[in-house]
Amino acid sequence: MGKTLAYKILENHLVEGTLSPGNEITIKIDQTLTQDSTGTMVYLQLEAMDVEEIKTELSVAYIDHNTLQTGFENADDHEFIKSVAKRHGVLFSKPGNGICHQLQLENFGIPGKTLLGSDSHTPTGGGLGMIAIGAGGLDVAVAMAKGTYSLTVPKVLKVELTGSLKPWVSAKDVILYVLKELTVKGGVGKIVEYTGDGVKTLSVTDRATITNMGAELGATTSLFPSDENTRKYLAAQGREKDYIPMSADPNAVYDEVLKVDLSSLVPLAAMPHSPDNVDTIKNIGTIKIDQVAIGSCTNSSYSDLMKVAEILKGKKVSPDVSLVISPGSSKILSKLAQNGALAAMIDAGARIIENACGPCIGMGQSPKSGAVSLRTFNRNFKGRSGTLDADVYLVSPETAAVSAVMGVLTDGSESGVHLPEITEENFAYNDNFIVYPKDTNKGNTKVEMGPNIKPFPQNTNLPDTVSGEVVLHAGNNITTDDIMPSDSRLLPYRSNIPYLANYCFEKIDAEFAARCKEADGGIIVGGENYGQGSSREHAALAPLYLGIKFVLAKSFARIHRSNLINSGILPLVFKNPGDYDTFTLGDKLMIKNAREQVKNPEIIIQNVTTGKEYIALTNFSELEIEMILAGGKINQIKG
Ligand code: F3S
């Protein structure tokens, strides 16, 4: 039976397990990337593991999210990351170099390799034929320490491309179409593999736009074959030596298939407030717009911005529109400056902003109240722009540029504006923004920990008797944001768990942190779906810092449950959900023989205050039991 490209790469990297959907496997990780927003925690965790040397072939620490330096906190975070990077042999990309995924593609991505990144859009690397997966910070730290990553084998969904795109239709429209067909849940538990004759009509950066937004499908990753276009792209970056051709076997068998005729596609937009709420621009109509933002890791490549420059050349941005453009990398910005494209943009009335995530992560450029904002980004959830009542539409760079000139959402193919063909160019080698960890010597490289950086909170081995008082009796559907808010007030403190912990559960119970400190930690009783929402690790780390021993709930959201186990906090499930009502704040609970009991499917909890006994379900895998006994993943790795 022929093999898919995804399984070929996974097989080449298989360390443990059997490659069949649903099985747990461990794979070798060749490369890792971090960005600064998640990176500080990754490197605090790496430090806490006390590893002698990292095991990956290449690891890069990028600074692209919190590049605004209005106070010392972000600057201190950057310095901390730089110093740990030097200590462990990790490359450091300075702020100003660009967006992590664009830079990884340009400088380091290699067909057939594996990449694990602490950012959900790491699958951008699939444009080069890599298995590139976004993961939690601790997984990335462990990948650096051990060189491996464990995952459940996904199914493989084939997207078969035929034909070629018409003018004014681009890669962004391809992924918007796929999102419309499959929805934001359509990729869950799957790798999306692109094949077919249409593949050769797409450049590597087109492909990267498509694999980038595979994250919005919920897919584990997405990838394209490595072919002649891949060779050309690598050659243009001065890296032809990294090229190897790779593709699926002609008779490869896929779990699911979606066929897309590229020639039939038209300009599309994702309407508020979801990336899969897609319709044709023609159907949406000529709505008036207030802001256009071009850039992000999805659409900031050289050819994307050259198309924008060509459309803007000799024209004027509508008086009612604010147009902002952020190039993806320093190399792209430099090239646009050299060939006059930057001048064409500025002369048309565009604001050029730093080559970083910028408005995509809410760092500036929030639109005015009630605004309509067209963005070439990948997400349009309510409030992500920083303006709760703004309507954000996701579109291609060419649609964004022509609409900025017209002042209304415009289908370029009906605008009468000529769109010239853009040819890729060669880029001069320039690594002046990269700091190499030359002469790394762990012993004499000092880690720079400014006052905003606090050590990673550590747990101890699970004691034989676990006890504490109930410090919170929470309701159903508690989100990770309820547990640990992450608004602009708290964002600069992501590397300062003791500070953040003061705000733990503040929206639900403002006294929670003070109560934990008074009682020397304790136990949380929760309802259904405890810990739903984003995968935020801080929602487990702040409770860990406050001394939470276990959470007893009716049910848990999957990722938060793993984050609790990673931190050595036991997630226990009521055998009888009705018991939930019998607990009161301040009740003293105790688990005797905890080290033995966690190995069983059920565990006995005593309420010392009322004298009652309860049964809770554990459902721990063998690996989870090991972690719990050790007091969390880091302790387990340290051994
Ligand atoms: Fe940055 Fe937005 Fe991409 S925050 S990494 S540009 S999704």
What is this model's ipTM?
0.99
Q: How many contiguous H segments (helices) and E segments (strands) does the chain have?
A: 21, 27
The preferred substitution site among 34, 66, 121 for testing ligand 1, maximizing ligand atoms within 8 Å of CB, is 121
Distance 295 CA to ligand 1 centre (A): 9
Cβ atoms of 189 and 558 within 8 Å: the answer is no
Distance 99 CA to ligand 1 centre (A): 7
Distance 494 CA to ligand 1 centre (A): 17
Strand 24-28 versus strand 588-591 pairing type: unpaired
pLDDT of residue 439: 59
Atom of ligand 1 nearest to the CA of 101: 5
Atom of ligand 1 nearest to the CA of 300: 6
Alpha-carbon span 14 to 27, nearest angstrom: 5
- Name all residues whose Cβ lies below 6 A of ligand 1: 65, 99-101, 119, 121, 296-297, 357, 360-361, 378
* 430-476 pLDDT tens trace: 899 999 987 566 666 889 999 989 988 989 999 999 999 999 999 99
Residue nearest to atom 4 of ligand 1 (CA): 361
Distance 360 CA to ligand 1 centre (A): 6
- Residue whose entry in the numeric block shows the structure tokens 């702040």: 542
Distance 17 CA to ligand 1 centre (A): 33
Global confidence as pTM: 0.92
pLDDT of residue 488: 72
Distance 297 CA to ligand 1 centre (A): 5
Distance 357 CA to ligand 1 centre (A): 5
- Residue whose entry in the numeric block shows the structure tokens 């880091």: 634
Helical ranges in 452-503 per DSSP H: 480-483, 497-501
The preferred substitution site among 211, 326, 353, 360 for testing ligand 1, maximizing ligand atoms within 8 Å of CB, is 360
Domains 5-264 and 287-409 belong to one CATH topology: yes
pLDDT of residue 70: 80
Pick out the chain residues at pLDDT < 50: none
Residue nearest to atom 3 of ligand 1 (CA): 297
pLDDT of residue 441: 63
Residue nearest to atom 5 of ligand 1 (CA): 297
pLDDT of residue 440: 61
Alpha-carbon span 608 to 103, nearest angstrom: 57
Distance 296 CA to ligand 1 centre (A): 6
The preferred substitution site among 329, 361, 394, 534 for testing ligand 1, maximizing ligand atoms within 8 Å of CB, is 361
Domain 466-638: give its CATH code.
Answer: 3.20.19.10
Strand runs labelled E in 118-224: 131-134, 148-152, 155-162, 190-195, 221-223
Residue nearest to atom 2 of ligand 1 (CA): 360
Domain 287-409: give its CATH code.
Answer: 3.30.499.10
Tell me the domain boundaries of the chain.
5-264, 287-409, 466-638
Distance 561 CA to ligand 1 centre (A): 26
pLDDT of residue 28: 98
Distance 213 CA to ligand 1 centre (A): 11
Interior angle at CA 335, CA 67 and CA 107, nearest 5: 65
CATH T-level assignment (fold) for domain 5-264 = Aconitase; domain 3 (3.30.499)
Residue nearest to atom 1 of ligand 1 (CA): 357
